[in-house]
Structure 1
């Protein structure tokens, strides 16, 4: 969640042409193709990543593979419009980077990115879901959305939440206290599924997931990769950071530019932190306004 309780750094805006043009009759957005050549991002202390090539069709499962500190998270944030690349060319859903960062950000969502989209351990699962649905409604500037009655808006929010939970494979009835379970009481896989559900509420064309296989048992890794394949199979492009890519994924590898020193890891972390600061504050302000609505 962006800031304390958001599922995406910048909520998907249904009124945005980049989304509306590819939405089907049920409101679900088509996936976004991802293509990049010589893609690179330079931070204050050097290159976070460089020379990355990507070629993935819409609805693909893209695995960003590499060791910790190799710029995986920075690449994820750059491809979703949260960080400005320094060199190379890229197109996401037909939008050029870095020229159309805002458009790419609007069509994408983030799940489980430490320091950017963290869950609030004090809130319950239901509270996270309600807040994200409320935030999504705030950014729905369509005429159809404005003309809906309160009852219709509540029903729409409920449908979005149910669909997102199903797509993320999270059954709240299996949790210790159902939807009233606090995030602090969730297992690692359950928290990952909740973060994924929150991001999916906005019906993004592309979703980015960080640390996908971190601290998961082999069985749990297989489960989450199967879930992400299902999300991609439904049309939403998935870009997932991992230590080891699963079979069948479009693999994008990262590696430290300079392996003779220890600056690569520091560069990755510092660059991500600096980029995330403005995004987190921006989203926190939006959340505060949504709570007052």
Structure 2
């Protein structure tokens, strides 16, 4: 994995900005239409899994297509086994360079291709799930959950921001830190955030009460990787997820929902991180375990 300019002089990891940030919205350059868009995603990537979860929860499988990339990357980026059925491309990088020939950053998932425009519309992962929840509302399946209810949006946005900085991106700041100070700062914040969430989830089913929301999707993808990857690989080893009773019960509660369980592939997750990120695991050895029962009541 090439981090390029994402490591600051003081050893802190600074995530690259998203290159394609157009909105899929009525009246815009990329209007919401069934069959027009293809999501490029990886079961290994937490940012991409969010899109897969929401697409399934909302019943959008026949409305928006998905191409799943191979979990192992090389210098050419994410590979599409057998070639992409939509564009014929073998690597996601081809779609990035078709959309912007001067692009020099990492080729990230998720990314959304506009078949009509013949280019990427967005790789803005925080916005992609919100777009599925709002712009594609006319095509939601009957009985689909309202993951971004109007009356809760401010609270959801605020908690999402806390979870992103403290945990979703916080584990990467710990794992990719190249100075002790940067690591100490990041890992302390990770566990302060986990402690806050442990307290919040005591006595409630989901982060905002009894209904599933966008915040739960965003938290889950980090929790699903915590003990298998972040605890050891990213040195987030103060405590495990299973050492947090409320969080561990909550994570299993979400895993029991098909949209979460069906998009969680622990084998691909482990192989991606331990084989691809040779900057912190140069041998590429994938560890055995941990043995976790995600189906336990």
Fold-level similarity (TM above 0.5): no
Which protein has greater RCO, CA pairs closer than 8 Å, 6+ apart? Answer: 1
- TM-score, normalisation: structure 1: 0.29
TM-score by length of 2: 0.29
**Which has the larger share of strand?**
1
